[in-house]
Each structure stands twice: as structure tokens, then as C-alpha cells.
Structure 1
Amino acid sequence: MRAVSYAQFGGPEVLQMVDVPTPEPGPGQVRVRVAASVIHPVDLMIRSGRFPAPLPTGLPYTPGWDVAGSVDAVGPSVDGFTIGDDVIGFSPWLQTTVGTHAEYVVLDAAWLTSAPAGVPATEAATLPTNGLTAVQALDLLALPANSTVLVTGAAGQVGGFALALARVAGLRATGLAGPDDHGFVESLGAAFVSRTDGPTGTFDGVIDLAVIGSSLLDLVRDGGGYVAASPPLRPEPVRGIRTFALEVQPDGSRLGELVKLVTNGDIPLRVADVYPFTDAASAHERLAQGGVRGGVVIVP
């Protein structure tokens, strides 16, 4: 099969198409014929050699976390999936380095769920990683209905999902984003604050996707909650504030709940651009330019 791969760290030019053996599913696993995947900022960081922690295997790497596609083969001890089923899922790449930017990928069946009906694969692929990140951030805060939550980076992929899910949970959300994102933030039922002005007031919880940092703890009430974008950014607790860090985990059941919300129209799916695997370098360059409002999708 063909896969996007790189055998050395560097710029987008290190990405290449290679032929690799088609993987076979083992017990509890499913092979998915990939229809679409997504590129994330962490992919650029790892590719350039700037990721700050050891990875479980060495080069070469096939990147990719999200998958939308169809079941191509089913391993032993798998219930609930049959060949031909349309599915979406999340590969915990930092734990396994099993990448989805390939024609086929083998994942644990527990990491997959049925794809949203009638939704193009290019849109469905934007849900797994960012949707799970957003819902797990809100799970960490565990705020009761009518609580207040501030989401920084609110117009990004995770931020948009976080605002939509906050609305579903009955929270009163405020989104911090650029001036051009005013309408989008308010369309998700959140109050808008421009990042040029900065947030004020007091909140029950903060999800800091824009990596503003520990200064935001000043806006959290005593005993509230704060979620950092990654473990190295988690501040020490003060005033009884619970501090957490995002480490998104695969969860097919939770992803299935998100699919229902997509089907009901509660979660918008956004696609910025679509590139073929053969033009992966351009897709990486597009994401690196910044200002992307939607997923940068890559397809076989």
C-alpha cells in the first residue's frame, strides 16, 4: 500500500510517498480503508524534530491521527463491525506511531465508531481527534450546568468543538478569539471576547487552547478548574483551583456520542482545505501558515 512517510526530520520536503506492506488486523482489531484524514499542528512539530518528548519508536514515521473510511478486514474477537461499514476513529499516535496517512490502517475496534450518516468523509475526518480533545477537556472540568467557562483559541478546531459541547452541556461559555471570528463564536451560543482586548471577569473553568498560560488562573474562581493544552504547560494549583492537562485518549464510545451530536446539528464540522497524499508537503505548508479555520484534510 501507499503511505505518506518521512525518514528524517526537517521541513515539509522530507515527506514522501512510499510503498509499505499492508497491515493485517490482529485480535480485537479492524483494518480501515482510509478515505480521509487530517493534519494537526503536532504533526508539524514532530516532523520538524521539535517534539519535546521521546517517541515510542524511531524513524521512519507515517503521520496521522484521524481516520474516516470503511472497514476492510476484521480480526478475531471483534463484534459490532463488518466489512464495508463506514467508520471514523482516532489513532493515539504518540503511544503507537501508527499513522493514518496511508491507504489502510489497523486500529483497535474500541477506538472506532460508525461514521455520521450522510456526511462526506472529508468532513467526518475532522471530528475524532479534535472532538475527543474538546469533550475530554470538559470532562476534566466536570462543571455543573449553568457554570461559566472561558475557552481561549475558541475559533480553532478544538475550540469550536469545546464551545458547541459547552452549549449542549448547559454551560455559559465565553470564547476568546480574533476579531474576524466574532460571528462564529456567537453562532455557537458563546459570548465573544477579542484576543486584542483580553478576557476579564471570573469563570468557573478555563480551557486554555491558545496557550496563554498561568496568568489565566487569575480569572478562575477559588476552587474552579483550569485545563492546559499539554502536560508541560500545566500550572501548579493555587487557591484550590484544580489544574489539568490535555492528553487525548481514544474512546470509540465517546466518539459515538459526538457522532450523534453531529447528526443532530449540535456540532459543526469545518474543512479548510483538502489535499491528496501526493501533495502532503503543501498541506503541511498550508497549516504552518496559520489562520486556518477548519481541518486541513488529506486524502489518498
Structure 2
Amino acid sequence: MRAVVIRRFGGPEVLEFTEQPTPVPGTGQVRVRMAAAAVNPVDAATRSGFLTEAGIIPPRDVLGIGWDVAGIVDAMGDGVTRFATGDAVIGLRDRPSAALGTYAGFVVLDAGAIAAAPRTVSLAEAATLPLNGLTALQALDLLDVPPGATVLVTGAAGAVGGYAVALAKARGFRVVAVAGSADEALVRGVGADVFVPRGDSLADRVRAVIPGGVDAALDPALLGLEALDAVANRGRFVVFAAGAAPIPLRGIRVDHVWIRADGAALTELATLVDNGVLTQRVADTLPMAEAVKAHERLAEGGLRGRLVLTNE
């Protein structure tokens, strides 16, 4: 089968389009014929060597690329009863040290890491849901604040931030969203109650709207102390990258969301897609053979939505 791997760290040029043996599902596993795989910033961090330098991925001769997958169940190992061949599914590969990722013709995952794909969107759109949707959902779970609480979301126009805004609103929170001025309509459209443009003195501007500070904050934009300063004493704060945690001043509890595969939560997210609560944004689709081009475009920035590789 065709797959994209890396054997050295560097820019997009180190991505290799190769032929690999087709993986065989073991007990409790499902093989998915990949239809689409989203291109995420974590893929670039793997390719560049940043995650290895950070101690998240051990040194490997070969690394697979890609976390998200949407496709069709092709084969199953013993003990799998929830799925059948031909089912459309989505899944998450949460072991970045593996030699094969989701930029591959076939992907083998534990049955507990996949869910039925949303019925109302294409597989290319569905491929943008697992990593970013689960990250936002699991971050919200860490907040442990009651409905009605005020939650700040930085990077609200991004993939994780956009899902976080919509999911927070669905849970009954009052959402304060931070993004570029040009994205105000987009962010309000996914559920933001209050919009604060990013820029200097963010905490002061948030507190001008929310006296005393917000109850909790999710910080996908990695603003750190500036976002923490907008949180009330003994509030909650969640960070999204290794080494990005600010000092927990004023009794604020600071947690780090470490993404994990969760088929049950993916099922919940897929239902929210079908119910119109979550909206997928695909910037463009490219064939898997153009992974280098996709990573070049990712590095250029300015995307609204995810690039998606297709198995053509």
C-alpha cells in the first residue's frame, strides 16, 4: 500500500511517499481503508523533530505521519462486534511513535478508537473531527465548571478553538472568544457570546467585559500568562502544548490536555455534527501523493479550516 513516512527530520521535503506492507488487524482491531486524513500542526511538529526534542516521541528510524482518519472498514480482527466491513468510520491514531500513520492507504486501529462517521458530511469533512474535536472535548472535561460558568477560548477561529466554542456553548457555558478582528462573524456563528479581538492587554479588555475575570479558560492559541490573567482567582485553565503551562498564580488550577483516542466520545461528536452543533471546515483537499505540498501550505499559515489528504 502507499504511505507517507519520514526517515529524517526537517521541512516538508523530508516526507516520503512510499510502498509499505498492508497492515493486518489483530484481536480487537479494525482495518480502515483510508478515504481522507486531515493535515494538522502536530504532523508538522512530528516531521520537524520538535516532538522528539520535547521527549514526546522517542528516536525512531521511521515515523508515520497523520492522526485523523475517515474511511471504510475493510477487515477486522477477532472479537470485534460493533463494526462490519463496509461501515463508514472515523478514528484517531494516538501513538505518534508508530511507523505508520493515517497518511496511508490502510490504517489499523483498536476498535475502541473509532466510531461511525457522521452521516451528514463527506468523509473529507469527517476526517477533520477526531483530533481537534476530541482535544476540545477532553479539554472542556478538565475544566470541571458548572453550566452557566464563563469560559474564555483563545484561538477561537482555529480548528480546536472553533470546536471548543461550539462545545462549550452546547454545555451551557457563556463563551468569551478571542480571535482576529476579521474572524468575529465566524466565531460568533459557532456560538461565542462575547468577542474580544486578540492583541495587547488582552486580560484588561476581557475583564472590562467580565468584571472579576472569567471562571475558566482554554488556551489553544498558547497565550499563556496573558490569558491566565483574564481568569478569576481559583479559576481553571487548560493548556494545549508541552511546556506551555503558565505558573498557576492566584490559586488557578492549570491542567494540560493530553489527547487520547476515545470511540465513545467520537460517537458523541459525530452525533453533534449530524445535529448541526459542530461545523467542519475544509480549506482544501489534495491527493496523498501531494503531502509535501500540503505541508508547505500549512507552513504558510492563514488557513481557515484543515487541509485534507485523500486516497486517490
- When normalised by structure 2's length, the TM-score is 0.93
Partner of 2:272: 261
- Indicate the residue corresponding to 2:198 in structure 1: 195
Aligned to 2:22: 22
1:274–1:297 Cα contact (<8 Å) kept: yes
Amino acid at match of 1:196: G
1:16–1:278 CA contact under 8 A, matched in 2: no
Give, as a single letter, the amino acid of the residue that structure 2 aligns with 1:298: L
Structure 1 residue runs of 4+, over 6 Å off?
none
TM-score normalised by the chain length of structure 1: 0.96
Matches within 5 A, 1:1-300: 1-51=1-51, 52-56=54-58, 58-94=60-96, 96=98, 98-190=100-192, 191-196=194-199, 198=202, 199-201=205-207, 202-300=213-311
Question: Mean Cα displacement is larger for which, 44-53 or 239-248?
Answer: 44-53
Alignment RMSD (CA, Å): 1.3
- Tell me the alpha carbon deviations over residues 49-80 of structure 1, each in whole angstroms, 9 at most, x when there is no partner: 22222524613222010000010000011120
The CA distance in 1 between the partners of 2:32 and 2:99, in whole Å, is: 16
Q: CA deviation at 1:209?
A: 0.9
For 2:155 and 2:187, locate their aligned partners in 1 and report how far apart those are by CA, in whole Å.
10
Distance 2:307 2:55 in 1: 25
Task: Tell whether the 8 Å contact from 2:157 to 2:179 is kept in structure 1 after alignment.
Answer: yes
Equivalent residue of 1:239, what SS?
A: helix
1:161-193 deviation line (CA, Å, top 9, x unaligned): 000001100100011101110101111221211
Measured after TM superposition, the shift of residue 98 of structure 1 is: 4.0
Secondary structure at 1:279 match in 2: helix
Q: How far apart, CA to CA, are the structure 2 residues paired with 1:119 and 1:245?
A: 31
Structure 2: which 5+ runs fail to align? 208-212
Q: Give the aligned length.
A: 300
* 81-90 vs 183-192, which moves further: 183-192
The residue aligned with 2:210 is none
Question: Which digits, 9 at most, give the CA deviation of each residue in 1:202-233, with x for residues without a partner?
Answer: 10001111111123222111221000112321
Gap regions ≥5 residues in structure 1: none
Identity %: 49
1-side partners of 2:273 and 2:90: how far apart?
13
